[in-house]
Amino acid sequence: MTTPSAPPGIGSLPRLADWLAGNVTHAPTHVTQAQLIAGGRSNLTYRLTVTAQAPRELVLRRPPLGHVLPTAHDMSREFRVISALSSGTPVPVAGPVALCGDAEVIGAPFYLMEYVPGRAIRTREDAAFLAPEQAAVLAQELAAMLAAIHAVDVAGTGLGDLGRGTGYLRRQLDRWQRQWQLSATRELPEYDTLVSRLEAGLPAEGETTLVHGDFRIDNVLVDTDGDQPRIMAVVDWEMATLGDPLADLGLTLVYWADSAQEDWLNPADAISLPGFGTRAEFAASYASLTGRDVSRIGYYMAFGYFKLAVVLEGINARYLKHQTVGENFDREGQAVPTLIARAHQTLDSLT
């Protein structure tokens, strides 16, 4: 059997096949296809076709190439979260398959999960099949899914020690400042001013729930075969922890562009199409489902802009070092100053 070439980040397919044979299939195994799944900007995701007794579709997740920041991109943590959620919670995830902590196999730790058929909706072209009334249904599904994540019984699922919970926003502010210091590629005085404003306005301690950390429309897989779209799985759990659910909502609203003018920051610009509704409508749906007070959501949105600016600056640092895999990474660094400016504008609107 001819061995296909491996995409960057996978290393030797025969070596990966040998590991699969010993840890997953328990039979002679071939990796007959390995394809990078586009769209991710942090951990790398690949679709594999694995043949032992029969062909099987799997998905492999590994950290990015180079410039991996401390405490980031923990494969065992992400695998733990999907393993817990797959055991009887209302939050659909890809089934966990195996975790490999041996960096010698492909060059980094990784984990495997089942392939979930479904569409990741990012662009207007991806969403062209959606009528406005279907887009409205999907928006409600997204709000309900975020509410379901925040309602997970973390003690009952074994995730009660996933994070400290109390003091979440303070720790997040400190963490992302450290990440900025490790990643910054230029001086941006507006960043320092933003940090000071966020510190001065920290809300009082709120609830603690499971938080996804990067919940948005293209981090769910959607079944598009029926009359109405249906969420098949929530993906990309690398930032999941225990924290303030309104921080999760705030970042989701950052991505929820109200108009085409905001598409420069939105990896899923489909969200501005008719039917999805506005940020205010999405926040109201979430509030109705959860009973939570979202009157201070503007602060959490500003915090979301700050977090996203730091994330994109880290990606820009990898891009400048030629350590990214995929296309369009040149745009990430360009968005950072605008994200910081948008955070300031959002805080200005609260005064």
- In the chain the domains, ranked by start, together with CATH numbers, are 13-114 (3.30.200.20), 132-348 (3.90.1200.10)
Q: How far apart are CA 214 and CA 235, in angstroms?
A: 10
Query: Could you tell me which of 268, 334, 347 has the C-alpha nearest to residue 306?
Result: 347
Q: At residue 150, what is the residue type?
A: H
pLDDT in the model for residue 66: 61
Q: How far apart are CA 289 and CA 142, in angstroms?
A: 11
Q: How far apart are CA 307 and CA 304, in angstroms?
A: 5
SS3 per-residue string spanning 93-130: CCCEEEEECCCCCCCCCEEEEECCCCECCCCCCCCCCC
- Is there a contact between 159 and 84 (Cβ–Cβ < 8 Å)? yes
Residue whose pair of structure tokens reads 């990796």 in the numeric block: 31
SS3 (DSSP) at 340: helix
For the entire predicted model, the pTM comes to 0.92
Vertex 256: Cα angle to 254 and 258 (nearest 5): 110
The H or E element spanning position 334 is helix 330-348
- Is there a contact between 170 and 204 (Cβ–Cβ < 8 Å)? no
Reported as a single tens digit per residue, the pLDDT across 225-254 is 888 999 999 999 999 999 999 999 999 999
> What is the maximum alpha-carbon separation in the chain?
67
- Is there a contact between 222 and 121 (Cβ–Cβ < 8 Å)? yes
**What is the torsional sign of CA 115, 81, 145, 272?**
negative
pLDDT in the model for residue 315: 82
pLDDT in the model for residue 155: 96
pLDDT in the model for residue 49: 96
Phi/psi zone of residue 156: left (φ > 0), alpha (ψ -120 to 50 degrees), beta? alpha
Inter-axis angle of helices 330-348 and 189-200, to 10 degrees? 40
pLDDT in the model for residue 183: 86
pLDDT in the model for residue 67: 53
- Is there a contact between 208 and 165 (Cβ–Cβ < 8 Å)? yes
- Is there a contact between 258 and 279 (Cβ–Cβ < 8 Å)? yes
Vertex 38: Cα angle to 68 and 213 (nearest 5): 55
What are the residue ranges in the chain where pLDDT is below 50? none
Phi and psi of 57, rounded to 5°? -95, 125
Query: Could you tell me which of 23, 167, 203 has the C-alpha nearest to residue 106?
Result: 23
pLDDT in the model for residue 326: 61
pLDDT in the model for residue 261: 52
Phi and psi of 6, rounded to 5°? -90, 135
SS3 (DSSP) at 230: strand
On the CB side of 114, how many CA atoms lie within 13 Å of its CA? Answer: 14
pLDDT in the model for residue 310: 93
Pairing of strands 241-243, 209-211: antiparallel
Dump the DSSP string for 157-210: TT-TTS---TTHHHHHHHHHHHHHHHH--S--HHHHHHHHHHHHTPPPP---EE
On the CB side of 284, how many CA atoms lie within 13 Å of its CA? Answer: 5
